Amino acid sequence: MKRVMFVCKKNSARSQMAEGFAKAMGQGIITVISSGLEASQVRPEAIATMKAIGIDITDQTSKPLSDFKPEAFDVVISLCGCGVNLPAAWILRDVFEDWQLDDPAEQPEIFPRVRDEIKTRVTQLIESLKTDVVSIG
């Protein structure tokens, strides 16, 4: 099973939504967690936007990246363009992507659009990791 880290600046919205989608869609394929360059709080708008489509992230918490070791993860996904600020050990995992999604915290009306973009990308990521598992196994 692949181990995935979603990382963002504050781990308050985009990375939390990605974690929620990955947990809901990736059972048996991946284990997932999210973190931020700094920890904060999960934004109520992120919780509400996910709840609107039936995914409950109310129990998720914001965590600092410094609480984790890069070697514990196979896949690292930055959602905010913060990849340039990550230590090299995080960028050099088996898979590293920087999705650079708009920050809905600055424009709350875009939460649904950003959520849907995250869902599409998480779906593609899980599909690619399924292929990896099949071709390796």
| 46-70 residue pLDDT tens | 999 999 999 999 999 999 999 999 9
φ, ψ at 132 (rounded to 5°):
-55, -45
Q: Which of 29, 32, 80, 118 is catalytic?
A: 80
- What is the amino acid identity at position 134? V
Mean pLDDT along residues 30-35: 97
Structure token pair of residue 79: 């959602």
- Residue tagged active-site, from 5, 7, 8, 17: 8
pLDDT at 130: 83
Task: Quote the pLDDT of residue 68.
Answer: 98
Domain extent, residue 44, equals 2-136
- Which of residues 43 and 134 earns the better pLDDT score? 43
Confidence of residue 84 (pLDDT cuts 50, 70, 90): confident
To the query of whether residue 82 is one of the catalytic residues in this protein, the response is no
Could you tell me which residue, 106 or 100, shows the higher pLDDT?
Answer: 100
Judge whether 80 counts as a catalytic residue.
yes
What per-residue confidence (pLDDT) applies to 124?
Answer: 96
Q: Please tell me the distance from the alpha carbon of residue 11 to that of residue 74, in angstroms, as a whole number.
A: 19
| pLDDT of the residue at 134 | 42
Q: What's the number of domains the chain is made of?
A: 1
* pTM higher than the cut 0.75: yes
Rounded (to 5) percent helix, strand, coil in the chain = 45, 15, 35
Q: How confident is the model at residue 132 (pLDDT cuts 50, 70, 90)?
A: low
| Mean pLDDT computed over 101-116 | 95
* Whether residue 107 has pLDDT greater than 80: yes
Q: Flag whether pLDDT at 136 surpasses 80.
A: no
CATH number of domain containing 70: 3.40.50.2300
